[in-house]
Amino acid sequence: MKIQIKNGRVIDPASGVDAVQDVFIAAGKILAIGTVPADFIANKVVDASGLVVAPGLVDLSARLREPGFEYKATLESELQAAMRGGVTSLVCPPDTDPVLDESGLVEMLRQRARTQNKAHVYPLGALTVGLKGESLTEMSALTDAGCIGFSQAEETIADTNTLQRALQYASTFGYTVWLRPQDAYIGKGGVAHSGPLASRLGLSGVPVMAETIALHTLFELMRATGAKVHLCRISSAAGLELVRQAKAEGLSLTCDVGAHHVHLTDNDIGYFDSNARMTPPLRSQRDRDAIKAALLDGTIDAICSDHTPVDDDEKLLPFAEASPGATGLELLLSLALKWADDSRGAVTLAQALSKISSGAAQVAGIAAGQLTAGSAADLCVFDPAAHWKVEAAALASQGKHTPFLGYELPGVVRLTMVDGHIAFDNL
């Protein structure tokens, strides 16, 4: 199948291209950009006039809920949501049921995902057996099965000896460890950012030092082991300053932030809105402003959707009892564009796209997030000027809960292509 995408504004943050050009696709690959290849006759021509042609988006944290939580979401529903959001590659954490701590489970998940013929799915293996923080998993076997790194998801490792052994082993074989910095005890059971609002609402708090203490410990262990670490969903100004210093020191370190934390603060909890119950919690305006600054200066490498579908039975509860999490795959592009729009010119469209494409791909160590001749034809074609209203009925994800319900957001995906196959067409 030969496809020509014509008259689109091609933006490729990886190469710095930003120009109206045609894209020529054959055999699942990008054949050329700009100049028509010799003897190229398209079977299909896509008119992208007025639209942006970007690399397929790369999401560093998307829970697909399989295996074990099919009542919350299924591979079918969530990969369809990915297509509607322009996400062609996604990383899924290991906190399924059973936990992704055996190679057979990883192979089964990848095979199930392949049969969908939609987004590329890159699993993270469990760092410890059952995510219990005690015994290390067979990292080599999990890597052979297709894991791109190792994670504890939302579970902490309280025993620093165990964490040190995990980092030593990972460092020896060149594996990346993905961790969300959270002290095992401080803030345990907390549901909101420790501050005046949580006090006023009578909600148990998670202080910023739960993040910073974990970072101090982790950086000491990284110095001792030489391990490569990706920090998931940093949430505080103080934490980001520590990350900035650690990067300047030369530690092998990357980090991401959840898209919700780029825009929202603890004030968005409002009157106990359980849709705003997140992990880590939404923090103060000062923290949110620090996140935006860290995205600009490169301290934060990528924005992820932190896609966590939750059903009504677990969300329509009092705030402290509701399950944390929100749907995000279909909002990732729009929230990145909103960051650029809100910056009043400080953030370009290419910069915003880099945090959800090339930057994220670099973190994950995968060949994605770029538009170059010879690369896989993973594309997202969207209308940057169009807006859509976030409503439950508008979401393909089985998870209908997000703090952005009712918002008008920029950016409507018109076409998503995976390996040269048009997986979503809204032209």
DSSP 8-state assignment for residue 323: P
Q: Based on the residue annotation, tell me whether 306 is a catalytic residue of this protein.
A: yes
Kindly tell me the sign of the dihedral angle through the C-alpha atoms of 189, 192, 195, 200: negative
| Nearest partner of 56 among 94, 24, 21, 84, judged by Cα | 84
Q: Is 181 exposed, middle or buried (0-12, 13-18, 19+ CB in 10 A)?
A: buried
Run of H or E residues at 92:
strand 87-92
Tell me the backbone φ, ψ of residue 239, rounded to 5 degrees.
-65, -40
Order of all β-strands in the sheet with 302-304: 125-126, 150-151, 176-179, 228-231, 253-258, 302-304
d(CA 7, CA 378): 18
**DSSP string for residues in 100-135:** S-SHHHHHHHHHHHHHTTSSEEEEPEESBGGG-SSS
Structure tokens at 208: 């910023």
- Which member of 12, 256, 306, 378 is catalytic? 306
Q: Is 344 exposed, middle or buried (0-12, 13-18, 19+ CB in 10 A)?
A: exposed
What is the rounded end-to-end Cα distance, in angstroms, of the chain? 19
d(CA 22, CA 109): 36
| Crossing angle between the packed helical segments 237-249 and 285-297, to the nearest 10 degrees | 30
d(CA 154, CA 250): 27
Maximum pairwise Cα distance, the chain: 70
d(CA 38, CA 413): 31
- Per DSSP, the three-state class of 262 is helix
Q: What are the catalytic residues?
A: 306
